[in-house]
Structure 1
């Protein structure tokens, strides 16, 4: 019955948005209310869940997206994005531009949360698509695939890190196995899967890309453009290295955690960009402020829609749907890797949040490691890959991809939901194959 109610909620959401053209944020809140009441939650608890879901989703994400949008707009308006794009196109050539995006996304994804990396890389993707005259998804899907694989497979991302700790898995081996499986997975979910999306050719969303063609003298140097853009990556990478290699009592760890926090790292990047992309390029503070204000206007509705997705997810969690799914899986006699992947996949489809699905599934299957002798590192990747399968309307990441790439719900399912499913299936097959040789 609970799963049937979720199905009704998803169907209602699609009807409200597609048939009645209702704003996505309002539709998500209405469906969250309806599903919570149908699940038997008291009305006041439903409201509380919705507030908690919006607040929990947007708490740090609003700051990160805000600073990320500012950094991206400063990069675009000074010609820095055009400089990076033209340099990459010249180095890799138009025919290999996807590989440049994959390499950049995989490198960035090691240190950044998915949402942070997505927002920071978006101006680059838009500029490359415009300059190379290729469909937006031709470079957007490889970028998203690279970021999503690192998010699902690799520490120090929240899901894999929490599961590795729960399973007592070795972080180094988890990172090694995750990278070995992640590389072919990114290739299949990115450049290869993009071939099936040629019919989706959307214009670049207005406001997110500066169509002005800058002269050589107007653009900042390639080094300044890249290094300013990578400030958050560098700071968060240092934090991850410090946390994994130094004892917690070491004084450097506290500074690394402070500077490497996603909010602090993106704030510092904006402050540096105000100089490198603004004052140092002869722009006044009034012009810089105008750019910063415009960047927030662009993402305002996106933030609300993503918050609405978080509200829907929280109602599903608070209604006890995860416990219901757990009870359905009890008593099964299948491979521990497949069971771990299946539980994470079921929770992901039902709840929306990959991190919630991964951590919940990790708690369920942890006892299997001792009893079955399964590799804890491969179990981490099995759970992580299962937790990203078929993102749809109850996942804030679905709306992030849809809104930024100006897609319909159907197109988002074909592109974003499809690539996430490819990643999940590759993770399952990869762990089962790797189990045979380690």
Structure 2
């Protein structure tokens, strides 16, 4: 009996070690992940000379795919921000929809911008705009801020090229175009539920929070643009959505034609080539250099400065993602999958539900949505070998679980609290609750979608 459950016990011990290293000892997350991977490998009885090679394999396999997309995605977001495209999208939508629909304008702008910009970048970019509009229209900062972070969080959890969905799709060998297509189907209603609809209920839960005055002095001076310096709204939106358009074109054609294996002619070969995530991101970055740079009469040296600055902040995140991949590989090579398969083979629990539960538990324990998502793949991957389930939906189920109930071990919790001047209790009743709604609603729509695809 102990032989069957020991791998699971080892995983529990490993996660506890990771929690102690990060939360108590305050060790760097990447170093903590590697130490945890080594400890877990020893507990699983792996040969000592195989542990480091397994860690290297896990890091290499994970970063080999995501580094390209993640790096190009960061460049696209930075070019869009520095070229004024993100500002133009937000300003135009707010001015066109007017005060009565300003909340919906903020949601739409944040959703479009959130596709191209990673969560933290989008948050830093949009919060000054939220504060400015709230003051101008004499409404609560949180009334606009909650829908804004909802849209950013949804795109972060469900849509490529964000790191979580991209890494999970790669590890599970899911078609990233299908992840994007089904991700949109799930993300749109989830954003509406957790954003504009929840905001009608939120003041009843914590009315005082909606009268707080936030402080964004720590963000420093924000870059301002003259109207003549801004690219057009159409060009800005097209630039932000270009990689999505390219990937969706290829995916939709595959679904229509039924040629999901290999291309059958030159047209399909070209379409599938440009629709590949890496190619689509590269094309989008090159186009952004023109649309957000050269067309705006920016010097090439300034454009390249934006590209360089985009990479600097993501270095540690890449290492953390690689560390998550190493831990995942230890779980796979150490036989954890076989143990889980043994326990769940004869059960009737849905693989989608199991994927969501595992990711949600790891999110609660570890804090980082990306690390929780990556670690989940190593646990549930063996169950998918025999399960009849759409892998793209499994990716979305893990993505939904990975954003569950952000709390004090998540950097996003503290960023939201400090920027909007909330107490810890108020942050739980706003930010944490919104994340929980996104997670549960996301899984609900994924499960409903699984009945049809």
Which bracket does the TM-score occupy, shorter chain normalised?
0.7 to 0.9
Q: What stretches of structure 1 of length at least 5 have no aligned partner?
A: 110-116, 165-170, 367-375
How far did 1:102 drift? 5.5
For 1:341-366, what per-residue CA distance to the aligned partner results, in whole angstroms no more than 9, with x for missing partners? 34434554578436666764433333
Q: CA deviation at 1:131?
A: 0.6
Structure 2 counterpart of 1:85: 90
What is the match of residue 273 of structure 2?
A: 258
The match for 1:216 is 227
1:36-51 map, 5 Å: 36-51=41-56
Q: Deviations over 1:239-284 (max 9, x none)?
A: 1123222343122111112112222211122212222221222221
1:129 pairs with 2:134:
no
277 and 324 in structure 1: CA distance in 2 versus 1, 3 angstrom threshold: same
Q: 1:43 to 1:326 in 2, by over 3 A?
A: same
Kept after mapping to 2: 8 A contact 1:9/1:34: yes
Partners of 1:75 and 1:273 within 8 A in 2: yes
Q: Secondary structure at the match of 2:264?
A: coil
Q: For structure 2, list consecutive stretches of 5 or more residues without a partner in the other structure.
A: 1-5, 132-140, 363-371, 418-423
Are 1:235 and 2:226 matched, yes or no?
no
Of 17, 26, 43, the residue aligned with 2:22 is 17
Check the 8 A contact 1:50/1:311 in 2, yes or no: yes
RMSD: 4.5
CA distance in 2, matches of 1:65, 1:297: 12
Give 1:328 shift.
0.9
Task: Measure, in 1, the Cα distance between the counterparts of 2:218 and 2:433.
Answer: 17
Is 2:436 the partner of 1:418?
A: yes
For the Cα contact (< 8 Å) 1:149–1:185, is it kept in 2?
A: no
* 1:226 matched residue in structure 2: 237
> What secondary structure, in the 3-state scheme, does the structure 2 residue paired with 1:390 have?
helix
In structure 2, what is the equivalent of residue 30 of structure 1?
Answer: 35
Contact 1:86 1:128 in 2 (8 A): no
Which residue number in structure 1 is paired with residue 293 of structure 2?
278
Match of 1:364 in 2: 386
Q: Cα–Cα, structure 1 residues 266 and 46, in superposed 2: closer, same or farther, change >3 Å?
A: same
CA distance in structure 2 between the partners assigned to 1:315 and 1:415 by the alignment: 33
The DSSP-based 3-state class of the residue aligned with 2:229 is coil
Taking the aligned partners of 2:60 and 2:236, their CA distance within structure 1 comes to 34
- Which residue in the other structure is 1:369 paired with? none
Relative distance call for 1:312 and 1:100 in structure 2 (3 A) is farther
Q: C-alpha separation between the residues in 2 aligned to 1:263 and 1:280?
A: 24
Maintained 8 Å contact 2:113/2:240: no
For residues 102 and 110 of structure 2, what CA distance do their matches in structure 1 show?
A: 12
Contact in 2 for aligned 1:64/1:262 (Cα 8 Å): yes
Q: 1 CA distance for matches of 2:84 and 2:217?
A: 17
Change in Cα spacing, 1:51 to 1:9, as seen in structure 2 (3 Å) is: same
Aligned position for 1:167: none
The CA deviation string for residues 226-247 of structure 1, in whole angstroms up to 9 with x for no partner, is 1122221121122112322234
SS at match of 1:21: coil
Distance 2:338 2:217 in 1: 42
Contact 1:205 1:404 (8 Å CA) reproduced: no
Greater shift, 86-95 or 279-288, is seen at: 86-95
Tell me, in whole angstroms, the C-alpha distance in 2 between the residues paired with 1:214 and 1:71: 19
Matches within 5 A, 1:8-407: 8-93=13-98, 96=101, 99-100=104-105, 117=115, 119=117, 123=121, 126-133=124-131, 134=141, 138-146=147-155, 148-149=157-158, 158=169, 183-190=188-195, 195=202, 211-246=222-257, 247=259, 248-332=263-347, 334=348, 338-345=349-356, 348=359, 352-353=373-374, 360-366=382-388, 383=394, 386-388=397-399, 390-391=401-402, 402=411
Distance 2:42 2:434 in 1: 30
CA positional deviation for 1:82? 0.8
Normalising by structure 2, we get a TM-score of 0.70
